[in-house]
Structure 1
Amino acid sequence: MSGLLGRLGGWCARRGAVVLTLWILLAAALTAGSLLFPGPVNNNVAIPGTDAQRAHDLMRDGFGPGYERGGTVQIVLYSADGPLVDERRKSAVQRAVDAIRRVPHVTEVLTPYRIGGLAPSLQIGLITVRLEGHDVSRLAETTRALSAAAEPVRRLGIEAVPADSGTPADKEIKTGASEVIGVACALLVLLFAFGTLVAAMIPIFTALVSIATGLGVISLLGHLVDVPKQASIMATMIGLGVGIDYALFLLSRHRKLLDDGLAVRDAVRRTAAGSGGAVVFAGGTVIIALSALLLGGFPMLQTLGWITGISVVCAVLTSITLVPALLGLLGHRVDALRLPLAGRRRPADGSSGWTGLGRWVSRRPWRVLALSVAVLAALTAPALALKLGPLDEGYGDRGTDARRSYELMQAGFGPGSNGPLVVVADLREPVADREPAPAVLRTLKERVGAVEGVAHVGEPVLNSAGTAVMLQVVPEFAPSDPRALDVVKAVRGLRIEGASVHVGGEVAGMADAGARIADRTPTVVGVVVLLSALLLLLAFRSPVVAIKAALMNLVSLGAAFGALSLVFSLGLGSGLVGMDPPAGVDMSYLTTLFFSVPIDSYIPLMLFAVLFGLSMDYEVFLLTAVRQAYLRHGDNRRAVAEGLGSTGRVITSAALIMVSVFVAFIAYPDPMVKIFGVGLAVAVAVDATIIRGFLVPATMVLLGRYNWWCPAWLDRILPDLSIEGHDEEDPGQDRERDLVGAARA
């Protein structure tokens, strides 16, 4: 593979202007297409085979689209100056209702002046709007039109806030200042690492082209598949980080070869053959990990995984084609516009502070191993307290309509009104006579109302065919309260003669999603670990290295989950990352800084896939350097020190860039993005320091020649996919082959 990549890199260097033009045209065309024909975004929360999905299907087939999720919009009214039943206010509400009826796709409008439409205080009420024939993927635009039609009540001083039944994860996430901050921080790191403006701009430019291409593809895919609303932000986070990092690794190798006296095109070819191969394998592990989410059993998570992988594919492609093209065009001008006091050159003997650290570790591996394990265990221990659960709008950004409507609903109708259950019963015998109410309907309402934790049960609604009955159930608990899940289980456990009871709604759907993900998590984890280890086995032809790398990545994941537990589950600084306390809690100073936040059940699995792939990047680059040093002289301890010395600075720079990008995204108001930002930043920081700087070198010193041991039978059947990238003319290859054979003997 290294030979193929070398030839590709050489071709791109010779035709740099053509390759650069093609990439710019492709990125521009896809960006223009996504702006002119933006694909819809839609979180497909359907989970085939679950009870919530069965309830949803019965509701759709028996009661029409106006009762589906996305077919109903509520507008919450709040009159601070007096009751809504006052004649002047009542007249304004009626004018608003009439205006709402004229909005396209509205089929029914229920006024607040109905049973259950007004809060006991009479100051909070609900306008419920049923829709048909609208584009569910553009529900936000429809909701804005409905809200604008409610202007008559606002002129009278009544607050009118649109609400929906979604969660913070359902809200469309728009890109903004975080990308700019992330790019700016990355540029500062690159300027310090390279010391020249031209060299620093190459990874930035490459990553921006990669992101523009990937986001354009993702947007246009929205016309063909359900693209989750989180897809663009996840693609930007991951694509920006890996895009800059991969170009950084290639550029660092290229500049070193130029310093060694190689001609520009020869340096480009050898860079593409060596570091380019490492980029391909590193990107492959990220793509494998994200693709394994297809086994998660949660459609939204599955789609989010493979769509996010598109950004990684674009990052790899630009790295192995666009970077060589730029290097070929620039030649020795890659070091132009040098900055003072930055990018200091390595001493002539090749030593560095990282080499010194490698030597220090190699002299005392057992002590370093014990200390590293102790520190990582302390960082991982809090993960045992990780609290999973639905993340409702009570944790949303203050000042948004979603958060305000949540607070008004909770104040007027109780916390459970923000996550009502939809109970749908499939009747075994159709009901023909509707008057008086059939016994099965009365029994259903009584039994559901008697369930512990149920605050209110609406009147049963029979479908036109008499084959299904639906009723709305309001629990006593907020959607994020674990006790709400107990209510779902209790209602589902009811056995009523003549009816099969199913429970849908937000809380029930999240409960089913959590159960499905928990059931599939061992499979996803096993597949990711095995396939990633297999890829490393193909790259380095060493079972020990493959197994060790997988274990090291799991260790860094433990530290990330420990940090998430500390910040969110235990609440030690949740306010410091910009989270607002949940609605209804005391707003003292300490409360605004320290409060517990539940983590949606799908987030840990998504984090696992992303982090496992990203952690493997640094493992691949470090192992490649150690292996090359070992093949040169056969001294394992020296090879570890030299490998750490040659990669320490570039891996540290890459990690700083990653951490800067992920920390910048913590500024997003969306809770899900904050959680991902914290988890990714901590994992990368731990991985690039404790694990790659101490734990991996210590274990490699202790393993000695067994690092590169491979059974003869396995060596014969493995394809030759070496990523070292040696030149055919390299006179040292014979010695290297001898050392490899000795290591495997």
Structure 2
Amino acid sequence: MARLLYRIGSTAYRRWPFFIAGWLLLAVIVGSLAAAFSKPMTDSFTIPGIPSEQAADIQKELFPDTGDAFDDATVNIVVAAPEGHTLAEPHYQAAIQHLIGEVPTLPQTAAENPQLVAPVAAAEGTPPGAVTLSGDGRIGVLSFTWDVKSPSDLKTTTVDDLKDLLTETTDDTGLVATANGPGMAVMEPPGGSAELLGLGIALIVLVLTFGSLLAAGMPLLNAVFGVGLGMTGITAMTAVMDVGSSTPMLATMIGLAVGIDYTLFILARYRTELHHTDDRAHAAGIAVGTAGSAVVFAGLTVLIALSALAVVRIPFLTAMGLAAAATVFVAVMVALTLLPALLGLTKSWAFRGQVRKYEPKRDEHGRVENNGVRWARVLAKAPVAWALGVVLLLGALAAPITQMYLAFPTDSTASSDTTQRQASDLMTEAFGPGREGPLVVVVDGRDIANDDQRQAAFDKVVAWAGAQDDVASADLVATNASYDENGTPTGVGTGAIIQVTPSSGPDEPATLDLLEALRNGQGAIESDTGTTVGVTGLTAITTDVSDRLNNALPVYLAVVIGLAFILLVLVFRSILIPLTATLGFLLSVLATLGATVAIFQEGAFGIFEGQPIVSFMPVFLIGVVFGLAMDYQVFLVTRMREAHVHGLPMHEAVIDGFRNSARVVTAAATIMIAVFAGFILEDDAIIKSMGFALAASIIFDAFIVRMVLIPSVLYLLGEKAWWLPAWLDRILPNVDIEGESLERTSGPVHVGKGDEDRELVSV
């Protein structure tokens, strides 16, 4: 592999116009495909085969006009008069009528919206679910639906216009006016303050690392180009598969981070090679052949971890994984080909624009004495203590994971300063917490021939559902009966929809217990009535998705860790090093989940308001963190193995690995943390928690596991770290990640040129 990558790197350097033109042409082609064939992104979290999906399919058969729960773009405008007043007062009635008149004039609304009516008070015969005015007359709800196919089609400006209208109503009348519902959930597109903050910090770190403005800009340019191409490709992917609206944000997180890191590693190695040869094309080839080999295998671990999300057979998660994997693949290819092409373009200017000179101390043999070397020697003095300390620290951080509660975010768990949460609190005050998370019971009576028997069966199901614990109300809200021109039913329909309103909120355990109780009693009520019964609705669907995610986790772990373990055995030609790398990953991911639970769910330190952890967090986090963790394992330990292959004993090889890689790995991890942490500033709760978890995982894995635990364990293992059964050694192909097969031109080291990675060893 090293020889192949050498040829790619040196050829890209010499023939840089063709490579740069090729990448630009590819960008134009992908952009054209996206513009011509892309479709809107979706917010569907459904999984074929789950109970709620089966019930929804029956509902669509009986009620063909029924839409997907995740395509609902309904908005609930909640209005409240001040304490001691009611909405019936003329002043507030005028404001409500103003709202009713102005909403249809907003963008993306129908000219007439019959759903937007004045709040309805409770009356005899009115189903509780249809009541939109509180008992004291102070709080009311006005509902309407945007004229879009799904919330993903909504524009941010449309929702902003509605918020402005609500603010205008509040300011002019003293009325409280807020809004929630699926029609208020608009995902901001990538390219905002989060990315800019991450890129800004990355630029500072790169300038400090290379001491050159031009060199610092290359990883950023490569990463931004790669992410831009990846995002365009994701848009084009919508032509052939459903892509979630949050997918671009997550792919941007990972694409920016690895794009900068991969380019950084190769560029740092290129600068090192310039101190051994004056042939820049040869130096570029050596850099791509050595550091590029590590990039390829590091990228493969990320691709395995992300692509394996398809194994759990969850469509929206598969799309996330494949989109992010595609972005990582682009990042690898950009680092291997576009970077050496840019080096060919800039030639001797690549490290111009210096802002500092680096003149490290050297030992009596001329080897660099940097902080990496000093830290490695500190670890060598007490490896047992350091290893035990890491295990105890990460174990303590992982402790809160026992309290982890997984669910999908709802308006009731949104930040208290959002209009969604304020509207949710008012609705809970007026109608109870279950109003926002009703369960939909679908009754199929097509096997019952007699109208009277069907009606009796529907009534029995209503009574059965209403008798369950934690039920506030159970109402027959629709049948598929046909009606004459006067609105009189001509017969009892073959299907019915029963709305079950829990006494608890949609994210509370009592509601999940109610869902389980309904399903456990399903068989008995079907036998008693001769009907087919199913439970669906948004709450049921998200609960089923969460259950499927939890059940899929062990399978996913087995596939990812198994494949990556084989890959690492191939890279390091060792059994124990991949084993310790995997165990270190488990420690870091458990600590990350524990810290996320403490900060986001339990509200530790008051940084964030407590809310459930989004259901797909563990699976996605494991995939991403495993891939990124193996990046640092590959980059750091391959330099140790390279030194060992060239004759250094294990103790010195660990130190030499830190001498040549610690500074670059530290810079790469710092950049990645900055990129991920920037997403904590996003408004979306999912993206915010993801950004925190990914940033925390890099801190734990790069700085604690890879920089402390792994070298300590390698010191303890000594030469045994490279143990490999003889039979396995014979059948494993030699991938030459250290570049042993490459011919290198020996040359003097130009002391004082500002390179912390340079060596005095002729290689």
Same fold by TM-score, threshold 0.5 exceeded? yes
Equivalent runs, 1:185-584 vs 2, <5 Å? 185-340=201-356, 343-345=358-360, 347=362, 348-398=366-416, 400-427=418-445, 429-430=447-448, 433=451, 438-464=455-481, 466-494=493-521, 495-496=524-525, 497=528, 498-573=530-605, 575-576=606-607, 579=608, 581=609
Identity level (%): 33
Distance 2:26 2:147 in 1: 39
> For the residues of structure 2 that align with 1:362 and 1:142, how far apart are their CA atoms?
59
Q: What residue number does 2:755 align with?
A: none
**Shift of residue 277, structure 1, vs aligned partner:** 0.8
**Shift in CA distance, 92/197, structure 1 to aligned 2, threshold 3 Å:** closer
CA contact (8 A) 2:308 2:556 kept: yes
Q: Distance in 1 between matches of 2:447 and 2:631?
A: 60
Partner of 1:53: 53
Aligned equivalents of 1:35, 1:343: Cα separation in 2: 48
User: Which residue of 718, 726, 729 corresponds with 1:704?
Assistant: 718
Deviation string, structure 1 residues 522-541 (Cα, Å, up to 9, x no partner)? 00001110111111122222
In structure 1, what is the Cα distance between the partners aligned to 2:506 and 2:32? 40
Give yes or no for contact 2:406–2:614 (8 Å, CA) kept in 1: yes
- State the match for 1:10 in structure 2: 10
Aligned to 2:670: 656
Describe the SS at the equivalent of 1:438. helix
Answer whether contact 1:165 1:419 (CA < 8 A) is retained.
no
Q: CA deviation at 1:471?
A: 1.5
- The CA distance in 1 between the partners of 2:149 and 2:629, in whole Å, is 44
Residue identity matched to 1:454: V
Q: How far is 1:136 from its partner?
A: 6.3
In structure 2, how many angstroms separate the alpha carbons of the residues matched to 1:265 and 1:406? Answer: 63
Aligned partner of 1:674 among 688, 704, 714: 688
The verdict on how the C-alpha distance between 1:705 and 1:79 changes in structure 2, with shifts beyond 3 A counting, is: closer
CA contact (8 A) 1:422 1:472 kept: yes
Looking at structure 2, the residues matched to 637 and 504 of structure 1 have their Cα atoms a distance apart, in angstroms, of 61
Deviates more, 1:46-55 or 1:69-78: 69-78
SS in 1 for 2:693: helix
Change in 2 beyond 3 A, CA 1:651/1:303: same
- Residue 637, structure 1, aligned to residue 637, structure 2: no
- Rounded to whole Å, the distance in 2 between the matches of 1:693 and 1:512 is 40
RMSD: 3.1
1:256 maps to a residue whose letter is: T
Asked if the contact 1:210/1:239 (under 8 Å) is kept, the reply is: yes
Q: 1:321 to 1:346 in 2, by over 3 A?
A: farther
Deviations 1:319-372 (A, max 9, x none): 0011111122222322211113x6555644223221122233234332332233
Q: Secondary structure at the match of 1:459?
A: strand
1:89-120 Cα offsets, whole Å, 9 max, x none, are 66876786688789549786363337413222
Q: Is the 8 A contact 1:76 1:408 kept in 2?
A: no
Q: Measured at CA, do residues 685 and 144 of structure 1 come closer, stay the same or move farther in structure 2, by a change above 3 Å? A: closer
Q: Deviations over 1:426-468 (max 9, x none)?
A: 226346537x982212222222112111112233422238332
Separation in 1 of the partners of 2:657 and 2:454? 79
Q: 1:23 to 1:397 in 2, by over 3 A?
A: farther
Q: Secondary structure at the match of 1:405?
A: helix
Is this contact kept in 2: 1:246–1:316, CA < 8 A? yes
Partner of 1:737: none
- Pick closer, same or farther for the CA change 1:400–1:39 going to 2, 3 Å: farther
- C-alpha distance 94-707 of structure 1, shift in aligned 2 (>3 A): same
Residue segments in structure 1 that go unaligned for 5+ positions in a row:
582-595, 733-745
Cα distance change on mapping 1:91 and 1:345 into 2, 3 Å:
same
Q: In 2, Cα distance between the equivalents of 1:79 and 1:306? A: 46
1:22 maps onto 2:36 in alignment: no
Aligned: 1:75 with 2:76: yes
Shift of 1:640: 1.1
Q: Is the 8 A contact 1:560 1:679 kept in 2?
A: yes
TM-score, normalized by length of structure 2? 0.86
SS of residue matched to 1:65: coil
Cα 1:354–1:96 change in 2 (3 A) is closer
CA distance in 1, matches of 2:72, 2:688: 30
The secondary structure found in structure 2 opposite 1:455 is strand
Question: What residue identity is the alignment partner of 1:43?
Answer: D
1:591 corresponding residue in structure 2: none
Matched letter for residue 113 of structure 1: V
Measure, in 1, the Cα distance between the counterparts of 2:155 and 2:346: 47
Q: CA deviation at 1:138?
A: 1.9
Measured against aligned partners, the alpha-carbon deviations of 1:137-194 in whole angstroms (never above 9, x if no partner) come to 42568985996999999598466655324897x8455541111110000000111111
In structure 2, how many angstroms separate the alpha carbons of the residues matched to 1:431 and 1:345? 90
Q: Is the 8 A contact 2:47 2:545 kept in 1?
A: yes
SS in 2 for 1:639: helix
SS of equivalent to 1:503: strand
The normalised TM-score by structure 1 is: 0.88
Contact 1:270-1:727 at 8 Å conserved across structures? no
How big is each residue's C-alpha offset from its partner over 1:664-709, in whole Å with a ceiling of 9 and x where there is no partner?
1111111111211221111111222221222111211222222222
Counterpart AA for 1:296: V
Aligned 8 A contact 1:297 1:517 in 2: no
The answer to whether the 8 Å contact 1:423/1:471 transfers is yes
* Secondary structure at the counterpart of residue 200 of structure 1: helix
SS in 1 for 2:594: helix
Question: Quick one: distance in 2 between partners of 1:307 and 1:660?
Answer: 22
Name the CA distance, whole Å, in 1 between partners of 2:295 and 2:604. Answer: 37
Q: Which residue of 2 aligns with 1:602?
A: 616
Is 2:120 the counterpart of 1:113?
Answer: yes
- Whether the aligned pair in 1 keeps the contact of 2:77 and 2:178 (CA below 8 Å) is yes
Q: Which residue of 2 aligns with 1:593?
A: none
Matched positions, count: 711
| Residue type of the alignment partner of 2:471 | V
- Please say if 1:125 is aligned against 2:125: no
Distance 1:675 1:74, change over 3 A: closer
Query: Which residue number corresponds to residue 735 of structure 1?
Result: none
Taking a change above 3 Å as real, the CA distance of residues 259 and 345 of structure 1, as seen in their structure-2 partners, is farther
Residue pair 2:307, 2:325 contacting (<8 A) in 1 also:
yes
SS at match of 1:120: coil
Q: Residue 120 of structure 2 aligns to which amino acid in structure 1?
A: Y
Secondary structure at the counterpart of residue 374 of structure 2? helix
Q: Distance in 1 between matches of 2:289 and 2:9?
A: 8
1:138 to 149, 153, 168: 153
Q: Which runs of 5+ in 2 are unaligned?
A: 483-492, 747-763
